[in-house]
């Protein structure tokens, strides 16, 4: 019988593959038996890995969702956000309608260009009335994005034409929560503010454009669009698919965008392609995420070093077994493969547990994270395919990297010495002992870095809580409403509502006084930025494009109700009229403009074009802590007299009580519901609760950093205990001889503790030195706490030293109980 050419080679290859599979299966079976025969070691190692891999995977899922993951649109690399770079170097993401129309004509640059702006309204549905955030979009926006509706259809160009009946597309969450996932919603008419709109579509669950929190989308030019005419737009464009991306971006940035009344040329801003991640992530959060990612990487290093140490300890007692296998013909590569198989199998067990820990950690992160940390929704952070691939790769990588050194150490031995010694009393070589101690030092050093960082952040958070807000906040309640425009379309109508609500609040028993204003700390309602200050007779004295200045329109009694003290001058005159040029400023502004002078009676104006009005300073009040929790001195701020006949749509009512302000919160809610059952309540609570929310972000990363530090210290303590316990077991005969020769229990105790203390001292020293470098990344997160803070360093070092001492004490005490007769008989 003849066989095809090459059959012998194919048959040989199949036999070799079969033999390799059998060897692998044998290695796996042997590894499972080894791990199951040491359940304590296996459990500790797997749980240690689960902590490291779980924490790393959870933080990676956040980084991936906020920074790395492409937007979930077809050809996301061809979808770009546009901005403008002004001649002064300032970047803006806002365009006007004329510029949008111009960009639509640039078919040489873009396949399509569309704009959107934000709007708020009250959407009908179940539950208490609330302000629903929506988006007014141009007719081709959803086609540009390329995502079809889950139910019905998307908004089209024809829906934005004048005279067309208003339509609306709902977000998936809105459809589920407010309309019970009713599939018959398509074609129904619902209420948006005071308009009847037809529901034409429901978007898929993952559609979050331009971020989480959008409940609906409407055509920009429809009758339902209540956004102010001339409101700036943000623009999204899709590039042509027939040219390289880099070339298309370079071509875009080479063009200018026309500006009204511009002379052209250098006075016109240049187009920019703005990364989409800038919209998905608040800028001040980016540093926090980097720091947390670095912290969790250190935790993983501690965990892996501990596992490597445990493997060295575990394998050191197998010298006789390895020697027998080598004597029977096993090559070093065969032994090395066996040890690596056991390490990777252990890592896989830890990886599976780590995924469970990661899922739990993600849920905890979602519950702890402040709502304004990201524009993404919480369900965007999940264990999707990308994260699972990362976790798998991380598990294999840690298994190979931190299993290879113990495997190399354990597979290299001298057969005669190993066979001569019993497994029970075999001692580790000097090289193995140095390696184990080195891993312990590394764990302790990294733990010191984590603990010092956590202590610095904790002291910052405590410092923030101790900052006085600048007014008496203990007996204050606050109400903030955005009055619905269809019920209160004019300033006098809003003033009537504000006065009626104020009179009812003042009639509540226990209310000392109340007032209404345009805003209240800690969150500023109105902000001016990029302002030049010109003092009369001195010219421009201050110009800072990055400066943010909160301001409010307030009544005459605002300062007395709030408890903000006057440092100079007085409040507004009782007859102050709208448009009055009287102004009250805070101490920080007074110092910036008139350092060492009395600002009362002085005049200044804001703006560099010379057209701004002159204001006369009538009073200087204390600084109020608001807007930026990192600025404990209070921002520069000013106050203007509120109109007595008109009021803005967003208003704040401040209530001072004789007792606990939380007790009247239900009554305040009931009063608003009685006056207008359809009026959404934006904010209602005590001023103290407002400041608790204000510190949500620093509290969030302090808790996370503290958790990572605690995990690192725990793992390092376990590692130190394991090394000393193993060393004590290996020195049983030595201790027996010492006791037989007259050594006391204290002598043996000090001998063991001294070894642990030396390791601890080296690790703490290296960690403290490393912290001087690593904590530089924390500088932007610290408030009134120096980066090199002796108190933080001392607390972290003493705590870790105490933990290490506790880890040393148990094996040390065990060593003092060695019976010399039993120890010598064992030999």
Phi, psi of 575 (to 5 degrees): -100, 20
Q: What confidence tier does 477 reach under pLDDT thresholds 50, 70, 90?
A: very high
Q: Which helix (H) or strand (E) holds 585?
A: strand 582-586
CA 529, CA 545: separation in Å to the nearest integer?
7
CA 211, CA 116: separation in Å to the nearest integer?
13
Q: Which residues 6+ apart lie within 8 Å of 586 measured at CB?
A: 620, 621, 622, 623, 624, 634, 636, 637, 638
pLDDT of residue 418: 47
Q: What confidence tier does 823 reach under pLDDT thresholds 50, 70, 90?
A: low
Q: Name the more confident of 155 and 400.
A: 155
What single-letter DSSP state applies at residue 64?
Answer: I
Looking at the chain, the whole-number percentage of residues with pLDDT higher than 90 is 16
- Concatenated DSSP letters for 193-213? TTEEEEEEEE--TT--TTSTT
Q: Which residues 6+ apart lie within 8 Å of 767 measured at CB?
A: 444, 445, 446, 447, 448, 449, 452, 800
Look at residue 663 and give its three-state secondary structure.
helix
- Beta strands at 195-202 and 167-170: parallel, antiparallel or unpaired: parallel
pLDDT of residue 742: 73
The domain ranges of the chain are 1-28, 76-275, 284-465+696-825, 476-693
Among 462, 388, 353, which residue's Cα sits nearest to residue 51? Answer: 353
Answer yes or no: is pLDDT of 822 > 80: no
405-423 pLDDT per residue, tens: 666 665 565 444 444 444 4
Q: Name the more confident of 373 and 528.
A: 528
Lowest mean pLDDT among 315-319, 452-456, 659-663: 315-319
CA 317, CA 326: separation in Å to the nearest integer?
16
Among 507, 477, 495, which residue's Cα sits nearest to residue 689? Answer: 477
CA 584, CA 824: separation in Å to the nearest integer?
88
Structure tokens given for 492 = 């006098």
pTM score? 0.73
69-100 pLDDT per residue, tens: 777 788 888 888 888 887 766 778 888 888 88
Structure tokens given for 577 = 């009229």
Q: Classify burial at 450, counting beta carbons within 10 Å of its beta carbon; exposed 0-12, middle 13-18, buried 19 or more.
A: buried
Lowest mean pLDDT among 2-11, 391-400, 654-663, 756-765: 2-11
> Which single residue is written with the structure tokens 């920019």?
272
Lowest mean pLDDT among 189-203, 245-259, 718-732: 718-732
CA 747, CA 506: separation in Å to the nearest integer?
77
97-153 pLDDT per residue, tens: 888 888 999 888 889 999 998 888 888 766 677 788 889 999 899 999 888 999 999
CA 787, CA 450: separation in Å to the nearest integer?
14
Q: What is the mean pLDDT of residues 797-813?
A: 81
Q: Classify burial at 142, counting beta carbons within 10 Å of its beta carbon; exposed 0-12, middle 13-18, buried 19 or more.
A: buried
Q: What is the mean pLDDT of residues 194-199?
A: 88
pLDDT of residue 408: 67
777-788 pLDDT per residue, tens: 777 778 778 888
680-707 pLDDT per residue, tens: 888 898 988 887 777 777 888 788 888 8
Q: What confidence tier does 215 reach under pLDDT thresholds 50, 70, 90?
A: confident
Segments in 638-695 forming alpha helices (H): 665-675, 687-694
Lowest mean pLDDT among 352-366, 426-440, 475-489: 426-440
Q: Which helix (H) or strand (E) holds 512?
A: strand 511-517
Residue 451 · residue 803 · CB < 8 Å: no
> Which single residue is written with the structure tokens 């055509």?
219
Segments in 371-476 forming alpha helices (H): 385-411, 415-420, 430-466
CA 403, CA 336: separation in Å to the nearest integer?
10
- Beta strands at 151-152 and 110-121: parallel, antiparallel or unpaired: unpaired
Radius of gyration of the chain (CA): 35
Structure tokens given for 462 = 């405590």
Strands (E), 131-264: 132-137, 151-152, 167-170, 189-192, 195-202, 216-219, 234-239
29-45 pLDDT per residue, tens: 776 777 777 777 777 77
Answer yes or no: is pLDDT of 633 > 70: no
Look at residue 344 and give its three-state secondary structure.
helix
Strands (E), 672-726: 683-686
pLDDT of residue 688: 84
Looking at the DSSP assignment, which residues form a beta bridge with residue 542? Answer: 533
Among 245, 287, 232, which residue's Cα sits nearest to residue 118? Answer: 232
CA 453, CA 476: separation in Å to the nearest integer?
36
Instruction: Tell me if the bond preceding 323 is cis, omega within 30° of 0.
Output: no
Segments in 73-120 forming alpha helices (H): 97-104
Report the b/e string of 773-801 with b at 16+ CB within 10 A.
ebbeebeebbbebeeebeebbebbbebbb
What single-letter DSSP state applies at residue 229?
Answer: T
């Amino acid at each position: 019988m003849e066989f095809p050419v090459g059959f012998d080679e194919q048959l040989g290859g199949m036999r070799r593959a079969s033999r390799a599979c059998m060897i692998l299966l044998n290695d796996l079976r042997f590894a499972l038996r080894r791990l199951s025969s040491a359940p304590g070691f296996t459990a500790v190692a797997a749980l240690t890995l689960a902590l490291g891999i779980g924490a790393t995977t959870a933080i990676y899922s956040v980084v991936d969702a906020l920074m790395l993951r492409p937007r979930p649109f077809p050809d996301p690399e061809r979808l770009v956000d546009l901005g403008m770079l002004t001649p002064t170097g300032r970047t803006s993401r806002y365009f006007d309608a004329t510029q949008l129309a111009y960009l639509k004509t640039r078919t040489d640059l873009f396949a399509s260009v569309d704009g959107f702006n934000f709007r708020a309204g009250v959407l009908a549905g179940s539950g208490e009335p609330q302000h629903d955030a929506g988006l007014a979009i141009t007719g081709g926006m959803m086609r540009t994005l390329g995502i079809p509706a889950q139910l019905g259809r998307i908004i089209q160009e024809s829906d934005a034409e004048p005279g067309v009946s208003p339509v609306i597309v709902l977000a998936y969450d809105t459809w589920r929560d407010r309309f019970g996932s009713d599939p018959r919603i398509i074609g129904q008419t619902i209420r948006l503010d005071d308009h009847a709109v037809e529901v034409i579509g429901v978007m898929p669950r993952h559609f979050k454009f331009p971020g989480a929190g959008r409940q609906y989308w409407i055509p920009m030019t429809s009758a339902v669009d209540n956004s102010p005419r001339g409101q700036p737009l943000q623009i999204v464009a899709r590039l042509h698919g027939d040219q390289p991306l880099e070339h298309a971006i370079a071509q875009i940035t080479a063009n200018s965008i026309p500006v009204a009344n511009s002379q052209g040329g250098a006075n016109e801003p240049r187009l920019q392609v703005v990364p989409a991640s800038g919209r998905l992530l608040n800028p001040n959060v980016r540093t926090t995420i980097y720091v947390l990612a670095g912290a969790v990487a250190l935790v993983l290093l501690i965990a892996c070093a501990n596992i490597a140490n445990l493997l060295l300890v575990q394998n050191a007692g197998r010298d006789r077994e390895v020697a027998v296998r080598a004597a029977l013909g096993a090559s070093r590569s065969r032994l090395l493969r066996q040890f690596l198989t056991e390490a990777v199998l252990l890592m896989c067990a830890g990886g599976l547990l780590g995924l469970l820990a990661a899922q739990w950690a993600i849920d905890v992160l979602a519950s702890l994270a402040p709502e304004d940390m990201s524009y993404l929704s919480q369900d965007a952070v999940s264990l999707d395919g990308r994260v699972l691939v990362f976790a798998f790769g991380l598990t294999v990588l840690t298994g190979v990297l931190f299993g290879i050194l113990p495997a190399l150490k354990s597979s290299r031995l001298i057969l005669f010495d190993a066979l001569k010694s019993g497994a029970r009393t075999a001692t580790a070589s000097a090289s193995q002992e140095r390696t184990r101690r080195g891993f312990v030092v590394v764990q302790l050093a990294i733990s010191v870095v984590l603990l010092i960082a956590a202590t610095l952040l904790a002291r910052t958070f405590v410092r923030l809580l101790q900052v006085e807000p600048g007014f008496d906040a203990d007996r204050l309640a606050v109400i903030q409403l955005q009055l619905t425009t269809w019920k209160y379309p004019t300033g006098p109508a809003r003033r009537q509502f504000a006065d009626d609500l104020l009179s009812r609040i003042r009639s509540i028993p226990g209310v000392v006084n109340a007032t209404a204003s345009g805003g209240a700390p800690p969150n500023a309602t109105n902000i001016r930025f990029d302002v030049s200050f010109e003092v009369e007779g001195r010219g421009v004295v201050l110009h800072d494009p990055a400066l943010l200045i909160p301001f409010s329109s307030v009544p005459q009694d605002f300062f007395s109700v709030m408890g903000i003290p006057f440092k100079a001058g007085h409040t507004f005159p009782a007859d102050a009229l709208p448009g009055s040029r009287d102004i009250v400023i805070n101490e920080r502004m007074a110092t910036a403009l008139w350092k060492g002078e009395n600002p009362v009676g002085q005049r200044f104006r804001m703006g560099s074009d010379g057209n701004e009005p002159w204001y006369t300073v009538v009073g200087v009040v204390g600084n109020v802590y608001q807007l930026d929790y990192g600025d404990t001195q209070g921002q520069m701020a000013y106050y203007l007299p509120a109109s007595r006949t008109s009021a803005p749509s967003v208003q704040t009512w401040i209530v001072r009580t004789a007792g606990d302000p939380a007790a009247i919160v239900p009554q305040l809610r009931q009063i608003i519901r009685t006056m207008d059952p359809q009026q959404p309540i934006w904010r209602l609570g005590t001023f103290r609760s407002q400041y608790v929310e204000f510190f949500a972000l620093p509290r969030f990363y302090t808790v996370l950093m503290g958790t990572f530090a605690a995990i690192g210290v725990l793992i390092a303590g376990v590692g130190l205990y394991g090394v000393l316990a193993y060393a004590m077991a290996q020195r049983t005969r030595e201790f027996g001889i010492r006791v037989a020769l007259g050594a006391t229990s204290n002598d043996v105790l000090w001998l063991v503790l001294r070894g642990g203390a030396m390791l601890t001292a080296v690790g703490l020293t290296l960690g403290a030195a490393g912290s001087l470098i690593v904590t530089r990344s924390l500088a932007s997160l610290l408030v009134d706490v120096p980066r090199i803070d002796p108190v933080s360093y001392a607390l972290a070092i003493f705590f870790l030293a105490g933990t290490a001492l506790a880890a040393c004490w148990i094996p040390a005490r065990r060593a003092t109980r060695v019976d010399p007769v039993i120890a010598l008989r064992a030999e």
